[in-house]
Structure 1
């Protein structure tokens, strides 16, 4: 557990390198809220917990809806995508459809240089490329994709909240 916690803290500390991107992404999210657009969120596999936090949790944002392949996007909207692989077919198709409708896309993933990242307006990497804890047989375990995704969500949440309070639109 000590190794896991140390490695996890290192990943969280590295998010500081992406502070400017997270602030810019939060501004785009706030613009969608202020302009009566929607905040769409899509999460797959082990990051689906972020979707539930954002749509049903105590700290959800206004105008948040779960994105599906049937979602109807408008240029006032913003799409947040949480996936370990932004290049997956489902994610790539969703991002492309959103962009075709003028939507700004914020991608959160462990991938760093595939086509899905290039398609995003903003990309925030979780930093997880493999398990954090070495095992006796030479493998690795402990890939906290959801923990990092939730940490990033809260970074965005608090920044959006501050921006909305500046406009006296509190959450």
Structure 2
């Protein structure tokens, strides 16, 4: 089982690296605007993904001005918001996205794409697809275990931060 899980994770990481490179670069450029100006990068995560937000925020690669989402009323147009969700249609994430749009605050979202008219993909300034579609390890009964949404989302966030870091180094 562990060999299957490891292989499937590597496949998801490779998919993000190969198929989401442009989305990561565009997202990093958008976040860099906050760092170049007077803004902050705020991370909002749905309830199920809050651990990813904390892991990303306290990683050594997190931008200095990154912080947890302070609430809709404390945003300014110079801020940027990163939404992390286990679903592309999570009502909590969509609500934050709409509030940001109403205040002209740009948004990057990270989630799997599971619906044809994905609210997060359609309305975010940039979206990074994690490609997670449930468990990745089949068992003898036909069920799937090993749900990697946290690991893969953290990989996507850290890839975004590394891309941002690389861009900032080029500007120096």
Judge same fold: TM > 0.5, yes or no: yes
**Unpaired segments of 5 or more residues in structure 2?**
none
**Unpaired segments of 5 or more residues in structure 1?**
none
Tell me the distance in 1 between the aligned counterparts of 2:75 and 2:141: 48
Tell me the distance in 2 between the aligned counterparts of 1:100 and 1:167: 31
Give the aligned CA root-mean-square deviation in angstroms: 1.6
- Runs of 4+ aligned residues of structure 1 deviating over 3 Å after TM superposition are 68-71
The 5 A counterparts of 1:54-65 are 54-65=56-67
Residue 127 of structure 1 is matched in structure 2 by 131
The number of residue pairs the alignment matches comes to 168
TM-score, structure 1 normalization: 0.90
- Given that 2:45 and 2:93 are in contact with CA atoms closer than 8 Å, whether structure 1 keeps it comes out as no
- Given that 1:54 and 1:61 are in contact with CA atoms closer than 8 Å, whether structure 2 keeps it comes out as no
Question: Which moved further from structure 2: 49-58 or 131-140?
Answer: 49-58
Residue 38 of structure 1 is matched in structure 2 by 40
TM-score, structure 2 normalization: 0.90
Deviation of the 1:158 alpha carbon: 1.1
2:25 matched to 1:23?
A: yes
Question: Which moved further from structure 2: 138-147 or 159-168?
Answer: 159-168
Question: Which moved further from structure 2: 32-41 or 49-58?
Answer: 49-58
